[in-house]
Structure 1
Amino acid sequence: MSFITLNITCSEEKRELLIAELSLFPFDAFEETETGLLISCEEADWEEEPVFAVLARYEVECRVERVEKVNWNEEWEKNYDPVIVEDQCIVRATFHEPRPDFPYEIIITPKMSFGTGHHATTYQVLKHQLQLDHKGKKVLDVGCGTGALAIMAHKRGATDITAVDIDEWCIENSEENFSLNGCDHVKLSLGGIETVQENDPFDIILANINKNVLLDQIGAYSERLKNKGTLVLSGFYTEDIADLMAEAGKFGLVHQEQTERNRWAMLALKKE
């Protein structure tokens, strides 16, 4: 069986947008690299003209290769580097050497799910979790992707953790990663925020999704958050903060902290 692989060179800002658009095509493997993206599909499914049209709009470089077989574990080893967050946490793959010198070590099999720590949004949420009290807390991870944020909550002492995602692939990937990190007690389910009960609120809710989804769901997050609880949002640009704060104010959510990395932002809000 022959495969087509695309090695795309692009900025971190364009990477998430390209993943969103190219996931509409029959690519069966996506991986974030230091220089951009590595993606693949069976040659029979290759749609050259429309894919190149997408790449042209983003003005990115792309190297296309035809190969008989792709060993994706080998490709990850060549292109996937560990992520270090504030010298306190390392996010690594199974093929990297263990790093017990870090207080927090998160092991991720990246596959096609979002949330390896390379993206500025995931990095910022993980960084904020390092200073957020999780001990004995009840935590919800909405749009869990690889499960990295739920894993960090576990490692920071949360005792009741729920993770949801609307993508079956993400659920499968999160389940695998929870097992790798000794988080078998996490309650994992397929679905969105609407599948989470409102009558049993959370101390902390983590939502690294995108601006439009956050604006649409912020009221639902507030309904499921305890008084004085913390809502951590990411997946949007710094220029989107004003819109999100305006919507958050309608539901008793007040500004605690915000950070920025490569134009991507994180907001921490408290329910008053």
Structure 2
Amino acid sequence: MEFITIKVTCSTELIDVLIAELFEAKFDSFQELDDGFEGSCEQSQFDEKQVKEIFNNYSNVSFLIKEQEKINWNEEWEKNYNPIIVGNKCIVRASFHDPQPQFEYEIIVTPKMSFGTGHHATTYQVLDYQMTIDHTEKKVLDVGTGTGILAIMAHKRGASTLAATDIDQWCIENSEENFALNEVKDVRLVLGQISEVDQSDFDIIIANINKNVLIDQIGEYAKRLVDGGQLILSGFYEDDIEDLEAESAKHGLKKIKSTTRNKWAMLVLDKLSV
């Protein structure tokens, strides 16, 4: 057996809370569902007692734990994946799809267990916004890179320096593969937390994670952003915008705009000059 999967059935309001608690329990890959979410972690990291203690604190929540055989994710993906078109200018497709050069931007991805193909409303919104802002000669950091798709778009938009982080080895390996597919070179990849990124002069920082992690890390993003730089946040619901905006203000970040899609949100902030 390779890893543990947990299927959680709960209300929408509890999804972010439970994901944050399971994240602390070493679960590092999550997928939201209509009636809750699924999470996974390496079998060697799984602590059943700790997980059960988490759920003992909540009523009206059910969960199912199962050991998962290693899956050929490329094969599974080929059965179900369709290209995504973003803003009529960008297509996100797999290598087994025919090229479509009529689009200004063509991104090729082959995800394994990594989040971020453009199908989810959060990734879609960030890609759409990236096509509206200047990346030329900019230094860009993609936090929680997943498939690497947002870093790939930054490269296609002219970024001069790229760095990307993820806490999941699957995601690091997957993003490396996708960078190669898109001829993106010289990306600094960091397996670990944002605290391990020592550079502090990024013009654009992108973090598509979840509300609780974002709130916890906003100060770290602000430290690494130049005055006048932009912080692009996603991975949360539209009802969470106010909380994220309030926390951002504590670190000298001011809202530029926000968007929503299918109740999911994106928030863009500017770092004020001190």
Query: Which of the five TM-score ranges fits, normalised by the shorter chain?
Result: 0.7 to 0.9
Deviations 1:34-86 (A, max 9, x none): xxx9999xxxxxxxxx9xxxxxx789xxxxxxxxx976444322211111100
2: CA distance between counterparts of 1:30 and 1:247? 24
- Please tell me the residue identity of whatever aligns with 2:156: K
Counterpart mapping for 1:184-223 below 5 A = 184-198=185-199, 200-223=200-223
**Residue of structure 1 equivalent to 2:128:** 127
1:70–1:162 Cα change, 3 Å: closer
The SS at the match of 1:113 is coil
2:143–2:208 contact (8 Å) kept in structure 1: yes
- Please tell me the residue identity of whatever aligns with 1:187: R
2:235–2:266 contact (8 Å) kept in structure 1: yes
**Residue of structure 1 equivalent to 2:241:** 241
How many residue pairs were aligned? 255
> TM-score, normalization: structure 1?
0.77
**Residue of structure 2 equivalent to 1:137:** 138
2:135–2:154 contact (8 Å) kept in structure 1: yes
2: CA distance between counterparts of 1:188 and 1:166? 11
Q: Percent identity?
A: 63
The SS at the match of 2:234 is strand
**Residue of structure 2 equivalent to 1:226:** 226
* Unmatched tracts of structure 1, length 5 or more: 2-12, 41-49, 51-56, 60-68
**Residue of structure 2 equivalent to 1:53:** none
Q: CA deviation at 1:112?
A: 0.3
Q: CA deviation at 1:194?
A: 0.2
Deviations 1:124-179 (A, max 9, x none): 11111010110110000001001000000000000100001111111000111101
2: CA distance between counterparts of 1:182 and 1:133? 20
**Residue of structure 1 equivalent to 2:108:** 107
The SS at the match of 1:242 is helix
2: CA distance between counterparts of 1:163 and 1:125? 15
**Residue of structure 1 equivalent to 2:264:** 264
1:268–1:97 Cα change, 3 Å: same
2:195–2:220 contact (8 Å) kept in structure 1: yes
Pairwise CA RMSD:
4.1
- Please tell me the residue identity of whatever aligns with 1:108: V
> TM-score, normalization: structure 2?
0.76
**Residue of structure 2 equivalent to 1:47:** none
2:190–2:197 contact (8 Å) kept in structure 1: no
The SS at the match of 2:247 is helix
1:112–1:169 contact (8 Å) kept in structure 2: yes
The SS at the match of 1:259 is strand
Counterpart mapping for 1:24-39 below 5 A = none
2:259–2:266 contact (8 Å) kept in structure 1: yes
1:164–1:74 Cα change, 3 Å: closer
1:30–1:112 contact (8 Å) kept in structure 2: no
1:31–1:111 contact (8 Å) kept in structure 2: no
The SS at the match of 2:173 is helix
* Unmatched tracts of structure 2, length 5 or more: 2-12, 41-51, 53-59, 63-69
